[in-house]
């Protein structure tokens, strides 16, 4: 097999992608890192913040999701759509803590016109006015709704494939794969960037993982943003009993995504809280160049902000700013020595 190079391709086969995924690990990481350095600043890691602006009660039956109304045993407080003023204030706080991108998720099957959608448009405009990238995930949407979001300045629309077309029916039955692809096409038609990836650890095979990447890599252009998630099992959901993935499975998935979509931003997303510092750094070496910042991703736990500050300081990221100092929450990172400025980030 010919090694992957810097050329952007849209004709990858599932077999080729699976073969890349199964390369000896050091070879795979080496190739991915070389491609990454060709297309990106290897020292830059974008920070993104994710907020659930409307939680719970979703009519979809996604087997992994605690927000589904179908999973009645999940202990989750259902919340109405947040007030735009509050959301914009939280975005400002996230920016002060180092986030460059603010993502907002509503537990909806689809966008409905009316006061709630008007409020989301106001949120997008407010986040953009802060100088941040704005991303939303709202479910399916119609062309006129995508047009409004584009006019508001929306940077990206998140709508994950979740898994392969072949495995999808074992994870979701209330929405088809075609529905997801149609939504992505609607978003793209209005010049909004795509944020589209999937989840590993749900019982799928390596070929399923390759098949999902095949769908993404066949898009022209590739999605600008590709989140790679590891399942976070939640009690009360059908996938609650799934074992945790091997961290190296996540490294392999990141590296393979980087090889087949060289110019995309690969986002290390859900499941990161289960990785130690070294595993996260290995994902960055393998091609991830963004991660979600903050202690929660919608309703599942994320890495502690203090741990992330230490992570960025350890890798010598030039964009590192101490979020603890900015927020005034100094001297709370146990086990480290405060600097002269009172900050416990190991600058």
Q: Which residues are catalytic?
A: 58, 62, 65, 103, 135, 195, 267
Beta carbons of 51 and 95 less than 8 angstroms apart: no
| Residues tagged in the binding site annotation for [4Fe-4S] cluster | 58, 62, 65
What are the two backbone dihedrals, phi and then psi, of residue 130, each rounded to the nearest 5 degrees?
-80, -10
| Residues tagged in the binding site annotation | 58, 62, 65, 103, 135, 195, 267
Beta carbons of 27 and 256 less than 8 angstroms apart: no
> How many whole angstroms separate alpha carbon 138 and alpha carbon 130?
21
> How many whole angstroms separate alpha carbon 253 and alpha carbon 182?
25
| Residues tagged in the binding site annotation for [2Fe-2S] cluster | 103, 135, 195, 267
Which residues are within 8 A (CB) of 176 and not within 5 positions of it... i.e. 6 or more apart?
none
> How many whole angstroms separate alpha carbon 279 and alpha carbon 297?
19
Count of CA atoms in the C-beta half-sphere (13 A) of 272: 29
The string of DSSP codes covering 148-205 is HHHHTT--EEE---BS-TTTGGGT-SSS-HHHHHHHHHHHHHTTPEEE--EEE-SS--
């Amino acid at each position: 097999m010919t090694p992957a190079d810097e050329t952007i391709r849209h004709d990858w086969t599932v077999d080729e992608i699976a073969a890349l995924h199964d390369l000896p690990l050091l070879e795979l990481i080496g190739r991915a890192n070389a491609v990454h350095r060709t297309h990106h600043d290897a020292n830059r890691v974008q920070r993104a913040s994710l907020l659930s602006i409307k939680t719970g009660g979703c009519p979809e039956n996604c087997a992994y999701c605690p927000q589904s109304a179908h999973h009645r045993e999940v202990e989750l407080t259902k919340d109405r759509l947040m007030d735009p003023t509050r959301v914009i204030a939280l975005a400002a706080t996230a920016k002060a803590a180092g986030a460059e991108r603010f993502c907002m998720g509503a537990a909806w099957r689809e966008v409905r016109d009316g006061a709630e959608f008007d409020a989301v448009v106001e949120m997008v405009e407010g986040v953009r006015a802060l100088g941040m990238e704005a991303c939303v995930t709202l479910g399916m949407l119609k062309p006129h709704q995508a047009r409004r979001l584009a006019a508001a300045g929306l940077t990206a629309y998140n709508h994950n494939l979740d898994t392969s077309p072949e495995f999808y029916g074992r994870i979701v039955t209330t929405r088809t794969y075609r529905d997801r692809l149609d939504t992505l096409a609607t978003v793209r038609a209005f010049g909004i960037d795509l944020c589209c990836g999937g989840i590993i650890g749900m019982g799928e095979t390596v070929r399923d993982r390759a098949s999902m990447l095949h769908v993404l890599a066949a898009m022209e252009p590739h999605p600008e943003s590709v989140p790679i998630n590891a399942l976070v099992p939640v009690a009360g959901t059908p996938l609650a009993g799934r074992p945790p993935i091997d961290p190296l499975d996540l490294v392999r998935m990141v590296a393979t995504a980087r090889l087949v979509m060289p110019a995309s931003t690969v986002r290390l997303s859900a499941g990161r809280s289960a990785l130690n510092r070294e595993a996260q750094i290995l994902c960055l070496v393998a091609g991830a160049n963004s991660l979600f910042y903050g202690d929660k991703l919608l309703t599942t736990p994320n890495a502690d902000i203090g741990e992330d500050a230490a992570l960025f300081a350890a890798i010598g990221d030039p964009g590192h700013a101490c979020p603890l100092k900015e927020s005034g929450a100094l001297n709370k990172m146990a086990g480290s020595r405060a600097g002269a400025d009172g900050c416990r980030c190991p600058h």
